[in-house]
Amino acid sequence: MKASNVVLGVIGGLAAGAILGVLFAPDKGENTRRKIAKKSGDLKDTVKSSFNDFLTSVEDQYHNIVSKTEDVVEEGKARLEKMNHELNK
């Protein structure tokens, strides 16, 4: 399962749980609206944090792949130079 699907699933579950919890709690309309607004703000912060964590993970993986690719290219160049040097003897 892709990490992005897991993140979206968790965020969706959090949103649904928060909204249902507020809507089914016995309270005045004004208080309910206030709670929904607060939960929405909390959810927005959670989504932003989760998304930033996801982007950081993707960025780290990208840099890791670039570094490994550079190592492979350098190793390939060294092997070619060695082969070329041995052929020109």
Burial class (CB in 10 A: 0-12, 13-18, 19+), 82: exposed
Q: Are 43 and 15 in contact (CB under 8 A)?
A: yes
**Per-residue pLDDT at 78:** 92
In tens, the pLDDT along 12-65 reads 888 788 777 767 777 777 777 787 788 778 888 888 888 888 888 889 999 999
For residue 29, give the DSSP letter: H
The model's pTM is: 0.49
